[in-house]
Amino acid sequence: MSRGNRGGLSAALGGALAVLLASMALAVPAQAQSGAHASIIRGSSTTTEEWPWAAFVLAVDRREEGFVCTGTVVAPTLILTAGHCIKDVLTGRSTPAHRYTVVTGSGDVRDRSIRQVSKVVRAVVYPGFDRFRLHGDAGLLVLATPTTAPAVALASPSDAALLGAGLPTYIAGWGISSGGVNPRQSPILRRARTYVQRLAYCRNHARVYYPFFNSTQLCTITPPGFGGGGTCHGDSGGPALAFREDGTPVQIGITSLGPADCDTRLPDIFTRVDRISAWAGEWIARTAAPAPVPVPTG
């Protein structure tokens, strides 16, 4: 039910981003279908200008199998994503940092003219991540080379008003854009509008597939007649975005999980960013700190 595409997309992922991008019509295996999700269901394609901070996350293991997640740029060398995109919820093992490739700066990851590709030197899981209940589902990828893509603002406790029931939020990600027996991954970022729901609603309606919903999470759903947008396999780690009164876009949620079949009649669940933003802020400050000046020895 987590929204990552963990568990062997295809051998075509074969260690090279170029191979993946050349054959993005990849079928998602049954293991991934019963777990995390990838591209926005019933959404529409979006542009780099609309979502400049979006990050495409690919991991490939030594068996040339891999998974796709989504993330957001929060600093020139930091990508915020889901904790389960780093630590496997079944085995508890973390994916080695060198297995990741991150693409930023392009809504279409095939576009070589503008995309920025970076390896990862460190993968950090939020200290409060509970892989059994998916609480604190957040993590950071430290890039080997900085991106010029802008950073998105992260919600803080002062942004609680953005979490009010019925307020619109906007979701985006790469991957599966429709359900069914032959879902396919998308190379183009897709987005949709959905709506924040009350805590009681989330607990009651998510219970059929997830009994652990709590106040560190938020959930959204799109009412009938409003397009029925939702997350799916591979959207894990992607943003739920809202707007402050001054028009500033701010990330309020991290895509975490949803119904295994991407049923848009059930709510999607996100990690609340205001609950992890202090931790992320410490890492942002750490990576922004200048290198120490060498002390002369002679």
DSSP per residue, 11-63 = GGGTT-HHHHHHT--PBPPHHHHTS--BS-BT-EE--TTTSTTEEEEEEE-TT
Quote the distance between the C-alpha of residue 214 and its chain's center. 20
Give pTM, 2 decimals: 0.85
- In 179-248, DSSP assigns E strands to 190-196, 217-221, 239-243
| 153, pLDDT greater than 80 | yes
pLDDT by residue (tens digit) across 130-140? 999 999 999 99
* Three-class SS state of 204: helix
**Element (DSSP H or E) covering residue 2:** none
Q: Which residue has the tokens 């990050």?
A: 55
User: Residue 159: pLDDT band by 50, 70, 90 thresholds?
Assistant: very high
Q: Is the Cβ–Cβ distance between 178 and 40 less than 8 Å?
A: no
Distance, in Å, from the CA atom of 187 to the CA atom of 174, rounded to the nearest integer, reads 6
Determine what percent of the chain is predicted with pLDDT higher than 70: 74
pLDDT band at 222 (very low <50, low <70, confident <90, very high): confident
139-143 and 78-81: which strand pairing? antiparallel
pLDDT bin (cut points 50, 70, 90) of residue 280 is very high
Query: What is the rounded distance in angstroms from the CA atom of residue 21 to the CA atom of residue 238?
Result: 19
pLDDT for 229-257, tens place per residue? 788 888 999 999 999 999 999 999 999 99
Query: What's the chain's average pLDDT?
Result: 82
Q: Does domain 1-289 have CATH number 2.40.10.10?
A: yes
